[in-house]
Structures are given as C-alpha cells and as structure tokens.
Amino acid sequence: MMFVTAVGCGLLPADARSAEVPTGDRPMSFNRDVRPILADKCFPCHGQDAKTREADLRLDTAEGATADLGDRRAITAGDLDNSELWLRVTSDDEGAVMPPPETHKPLSDADKSVLRQWILQGATYQKHWAFEPIHRPAVPAVSDAGQPVDAFLNERLQQVGLTAQPQADRETLIRRVALTLTGLPPTVAEVDAYLSDESPQAYERVVDRYLASPRYGEEMASHWLDAARYADTHGLHLDNERITWAYRDWVVRAFNDNLPFDQFTVWQVAGDLLPDATSDQLVATGFNRCNVTTSEGGAIDAEFSYRYAVERTATVAQAWLGLTAGCAVCHDHKYDPLTMKEFYSLYAFFNSAADPAMDGNINTTPPFLKLPTAAQKATAESAASVEQAARQWLTSLASLADTTDWAGSPDAAPSKPIDDVLIDDAFPPGCVTRSSSRNAITWVVDSSPAAASGRRAIRQAHASDCNDTVEFKLRPLVVPPDGRLEVMVWVDPRSVPESIALTIMGHKTITWKRGGAGLEREGGAEGAIVPGQWTPVAVSVADGGLQPGVRIDGVTFAQRGGVVYWDRLRLLGHASTATDPLESLSAWRKALGTAVPPELPGELHPLIQGGPEKSLSPEQMAALRTYYLALIARPATAELAAARQAWD
C-alpha cells in the first residue's frame, strides 16, 4: 500500500522541486546526502581505483578518510578544524582548494553545508545501499498521516518548510491509480462506480480492483522486462526472431500471483539449478537468455561467449544491486564499491552457461524448453495414468506372446503382407528430425486443407529451398521385394512450388517440377500432382525407385518456393519374416548394430552396445524381446495390435 498511497498524494509545488534544501540539524545520511557529493566531486581522484588515486588518499571508506596521514587526517569526526577535507573544500587558495579549479567541479554552498553537518554529527560511513541490510525505520509522529509513507513525506515537507498540495479530486485520483497500476486510463464505468461509492473504503476498493486486474501484471512486467532487456529478436546481424515469449508471460504471472521477491530473484538467476526444478523455474531463467546474440560469419566463439557472460553479469548487478557493474570489466569501479576481481568472480558463474556462442540464426537456440499449452497440460495429466496402464498392458501381452524368430530358418520363413504407417500426425518413436530452415519441421493442425489422414500434416512454405529430414533409428525399415513407399501430397493452387522432391535415404530422389496443370514427375514417369487436392504419389521397386532388401534410413521432403503439404507416409508390400527388422528380433539387432537409437530405455543400452553377436543371458534376452514385441515389431496378435493402438 505504500506505493499506492504515494500515488494519491498531492503534488509538491513546482518551486519546491528545485529548491535548495536547508540542512539545519537534520541527521545526515552518508548514502543519501554525502556519497552523491563525494562520488561526483572527489572519488575520481580519491576513490577505490588505485591507478587514478592521488596523494594516497581514499574518501570512499571510513578507514581511508580517517587514516593518519602524518600531520593530518582527511576527516576527524566532530572536529572541522582538524578535518583536512573541510579545510580544503572551504579554502580560498586556488593551490589548495578541492576539487582543483581545473576539474570545473566546485562544491555549492549546499554541498558544503551537507559535509559540515555530516562531520559535526560524527562522519558516519555506510556501505553502498545495495549491500546494507534492510531495517524498518520508526514512523515519524506527524499529523495528517493516513499511511506510514505519508508520515515520512509530511516530515520531509516540514523540514524544508513546505506544505502538500490539496488532495486531488476523485476523477484525477482514479486516473492516477489506473494509469500507475494497469498502464491504462479508467473506463467511464469505473469512474462512475468510484464517484458513486461514498463509503470510507471506496479508494481501497478501487486499488484492490486494479491490483486484481490481469492488466496489473502486464504493466508491472513491462518495467521489469526493460531491466531484463527482453526482446523477441536476437538483436544483431540478421536479427532473427527468437521464441522467448514464455519468459515474458511468466513475468506477468509472477506479478499477478504476487510471487515473493526472493523467489522472483532466485528463479530468474538460477532456477535451473534448483533441485527438481519446475517448468516455471526453468522458464524464469529466460532472464539470462535475453541478451543480444549473433551467428554472423567470421564471429569468434570465444569472444562472444565472453561477451554474453559479461553482459549477464552487468545486467544482474544493475537490475538487483543498482550498480553500473560494466565499468569494472576493465578496472576497479571509480564510483561504486565494486572491484574488477569481484566482477569476474560473479562473471565466473555466468561463464558456465549452456547456450552456444552462435545462435544459429534460429528461433529456438538451445537449450530450448518445449512447453505444453494449458489444455495440453490438463490432457497430459489426466492421460498419464491411462498411458501407464496401457503401457503395462502392452508389456504384459508382449511378455506372454508366443512368436517365432524365423532368422534361424530363412528357407522356411513365411512372407506376410505389410502396410506400415511411418508418419501420420506424428513422427515414429526414436527418429531424428532436422530442417534446413534451422527450425523445427512445421506441423499444422486442423488447417485448410484438412489433413489427408488424421488431424495434422507437414507444411513447407519457404521462398527458397527447404529440406525437412526424418531419420528412422529405432524402427529400421527394409524394402520388401515388392515394396512401395507412398505419401500424400497437397500443393497450394495459389502458390505452386517451382519443384518438390522426395528423397528416400539409401535409395533415390524423386522430383516433381512445375509444368502443365501442376507438378509433373521428372523423367516423364506417371504420378503428376494436381494442385488443390490430396494426391497419393508412390516410389516402388517396380519403377526402380527402391532397391529390394536395402534399408530405408529416412526420408527428406524438399520444396523450392510455393506451399506444399505432406501427409501419411507408409511402406507397403510383402515382408520376409526372417530378414525384416520389424518381424525378427535377430534382424532388428543386426540392423541396429552397436548404435543405441533414441528413446531406447537406459537399461537396454548395454544389450545393444555389444552388437548382435553379444551373448545375452536368458533374463536379458527376455527383457529385450518383451520391449521389441511391445513397441518395435509389427503386432504379433490382434490383442497386441489393440494394446499398441491404445498406447499410441
């Protein structure tokens, strides 16, 4: 309420704001009254920087100011005649007066009066205000003080011989409160409601209403985000977009939730170091990622890593300590109590940050945290127990499944029809994705056009070349003798690409180029794509696009200009149950080799790292077989298929 009460006070007369304040017998505060004078007029030559210090005299510390200089002391508490500082600042001798005339920084009569009173009162020093513990002062006993802050203001006004302006009228008052707390003027309805409320608590109700408004957090956050140097772009070179709005929204919520200031501080500076850090605590560390970054060609990693750490150190000192710490990058600070050694002691903390020196000119420079929406979070939480039960059911069925590994009897192995959906609404488990755009592959949900299958499709809409790649790691694919790879394609008739292509890693690249009524397959083969409708296009063993028995390591969707959507990629044909990695555990182990694919449980890593020739105990083989049948192999039974679908 102290801050709010100040809003409602009358304004001081204009002449009071520039008037010289008589000191009288008012207690002098070193930080409030004396330090500003010494910092401006004396510290450049008599401060903490030893390289510029004159006469071996320090005035920024009590020890230095009261040190025995042989036949004199700069300050003798309570004794003006034996205080060289006082004698020098009041001297008429141009060769003795301080500051020297050539500095063009003479002390005013008000400055001298402050120093005089301070010395007579004992010349008590204080640490910089940022390092002093906070004490609750006694509230002055003055009249007309509705709130404690009013008592301090009224006492000060009395000391300088001034009186407050009359209280503002209610229309003015609500406007001040609304602008201060929400950044917006009050609505007509809000003004009318306040004017019609004649109760003694009318003002408090207005204040509480604005404090409860979501706009309050936005207004307060706007000021903090300035101190945090928040921006939605990298700030240098290409100045590309960066996705940091989650940090901005967290700051707004922190103010609206009245998060305690100690938590507000710790979470932003080091939330990721807290045990079992929550997503909010991780997001709060976005404070440290708001600095300007680059990925300019020729930039030196070591130089920019240093720059980032320096900037973060200086920002923390300025935002929380009120110190211009950047001055201590090259030398001891000349005004604030901060040495170069102290600066780099704090710098060491930020010099261990995890982000790279080059931001990659992307909007998701790592480390990057993906966050669910509120709806997704609620769905995920409610589905967690269901997912766990489905996984347990699936694992239980897999452990009991009666299957045959035909790898040992290839001549007797049967062939079976397959229709493996590789990509449809999601990427397969254990895959690796990348995009030449340097950002994530773009999925669009419930868009126009509607997806060919499910709810989502991959969208490419780049002015130049774009390649989106998906590598299959956990579920290796081998082309059957009659294999055919099919994908659904939709081309925007308003923005037809110059060309698109499908690359099957380990096989061929098939290209479609603009021509005729749409996109025609290169080489004159069948499979033209008509803009404005979903078109199935296929690559097969029969047309020479696939090689039977050869593994498909992944696919790349390529686009040059225009807009194209890709959906439901699947592999069809008849697979050998002896050599297909999705039919034979032995074939799967052979296909993996010694490489541990993504998403493989940690306890299974040693079983894979030894390679397919590694001898496994019966228990190890059972664990590997259960995992394989549950999540990798084509479902061996209808019951397993139902359980897999429920888990997916």
What are the tens digits of pLDDT across the range 445-456?
A: 877 888 999 889
CA dihedral 212, 214, 220, 226 (to 10 degrees): 170
Q: Which two tokens stand for residue 91?
A: 């001297």
Give which of 61, 177, 213 is closest to 123, Cα–Cα. 61
- How far apart are alpha carbons 19 and 548 in whole angstroms? 93
- How far apart are alpha carbons 512 and 491 in whole angstroms? 11
- How far apart are alpha carbons 22 and 62 in whole angstroms? 25
Most confident of 498-507, 523-532, 591-600: 498-507
Q: Is the dihedral of CA 560, 563, 568, 573 positive or negative?
A: negative
How much is the pLDDT for 384?
A: 56
Task: Give the residue, 435 or 374, on which the prediction is more confident.
Answer: 435
DSSP state of 211: H
- How far apart are alpha carbons 253 and 278 in whole angstroms? 15
Mean pLDDT for 402-408 is: 66
Q: Are 483 and 548 in contact (CB under 8 A)?
A: yes
* pLDDT of 20 strictly over 60: no
Q: Which percentage of the chain shows pLDDT scores above 70?
A: 89
* One-character DSSP codes across 543-581: TTSS-TT-EE-EEEEEEESS-EEEEEEEEEEEEETTT-T
How much is the pLDDT for 647?
A: 57
DSSP state of 593: T
How much is the pLDDT for 389?
A: 58
Residue 504, classed as helix, strand or coil, is strand
Residue 520, classed as helix, strand or coil, is strand
Per-domain boundaries in the chain:
30-125, 170-212, 220-350, 382-413+577-648, 415-576
Q: Which two tokens stand for residue 509?
A: 């690249």
Query: Within 13 Å and on the Cβ side, how many CA atoms surround 446?
Result: 0
Mean pLDDT for 331-337 is: 82
Confidence at 623, pLDDT banded by 50, 70, 90: confident
How much is the pLDDT for 592?
A: 84
Confidence at 618, pLDDT banded by 50, 70, 90: confident
* pLDDT of 8 strictly over 70: no
Which residues face 503 on adjacent strands?
Answer: 509, 556
For 148-176, what is each residue's pLDDT tens digit? 999 999 998 988 889 888 889 999 999 99
CA-CA distances (angstroms) from residue 47 to 11, 328, 646?
Answer: 38, 14, 73
Provide the phi-psi class of 31: left if phi over 0, else alpha when psi is between -120 and 50, else beta: alpha
Q: Are 461 and 566 in contact (CB under 8 A)?
A: no
* pLDDT of 6 strictly over 60: no
How much is the pLDDT for 644?
A: 62
For 273-327, what is each residue's pLDDT tens digit? 999 999 999 999 999 999 999 999 899 999 999 999 999 999 999 999 888 899 9
- How far apart are alpha carbons 357 and 321 in whole angstroms? 27
Q: Are 255 and 213 in contact (CB under 8 A)?
A: no
Min mean pLDDT across 108-112, 261-265, 440-444, 531-535 is at 440-444
- How far apart are alpha carbons 9 and 3 in whole angstroms? 11
* pLDDT of 394 strictly over 80: no
Give Cβ neighbours of residue 59 (< 8 Å, ≥ 6 apart).
Answer: 38, 42, 43, 46, 47, 65, 74, 85
CA dihedral 490, 491, 492, 495 (to 10 degrees): 160
For 200-233, what is each residue's pLDDT tens digit? 999 999 999 999 999 999 999 999 999 999 999 9
Long-range pairs of 164-172 with CB within 8 A, sequence gap ≥ 24: 164/9, 164/10, 164/12, 165/10, 165/11, 165/12, 165/13, 166/10, 167/8, 167/10, 168/8, 168/10, 170/194, 170/195, 171/195
Give which of 295, 406, 378, 337 is closest to 63, Cα–Cα. 337
CA-CA distances (angstroms) from residue 413 to 305, 575, 624?
Answer: 59, 10, 22
How much is the pLDDT for 5?
A: 35
- How far apart are alpha carbons 103 and 424 in whole angstroms? 75
**Which strand ranges, in their side-by-side order, compose the sheet holding 499-504?**
431-435, 465-472, 554-560, 499-504, 509-515, 518-521
How much is the pLDDT for 260?
A: 97
Q: Are 338 and 328 in contact (CB under 8 A)?
A: yes
Mean pLDDT for 251-270 is: 97
Give Cβ neighbours of residue 422 (< 8 Å, ≥ 6 apart).
Answer: 428, 472, 477, 555, 569, 570, 571
* pLDDT of 194 strictly over 60: yes
Task: Give the residue, 116 or 369, on which the prediction is more confident.
Answer: 116
CA-CA distances (angstroms) from residue 280 to 117, 316, 581?
Answer: 51, 20, 42
**Tell me: domain 415-576, CATH 2.60.120.260, correct?**
yes
For 565-578, what is each residue's pLDDT tens digit? 999 999 999 988 88
Residue 304, classed as helix, strand or coil, is helix
Q: Are 369 and 339 in contact (CB under 8 A)?
A: no
Give which of 505, 575, 499, 568 is closest to 535, Cα–Cα. 568
Confidence at 112, pLDDT banded by 50, 70, 90: very high
Min mean pLDDT across 20-24, 324-328, 396-400 is at 20-24
- Residues listed for the chain: 648
Task: Give the residue, 319 or 387, on which the prediction is more confident.
Answer: 319
* pLDDT of 10 strictly over 90: no
DSSP state of 138: P
* pLDDT of 583 strictly over 90: no
**Number of C-beta neighbours around residue 498 at 10 A:** 13
How much is the pLDDT for 525?
A: 67
Confidence at 11, pLDDT banded by 50, 70, 90: very low
- How far apart are alpha carbons 506 and 640 in whole angstroms? 31
How much is the pLDDT for 13?
A: 37
Mean of pLDDT over the chain: 86
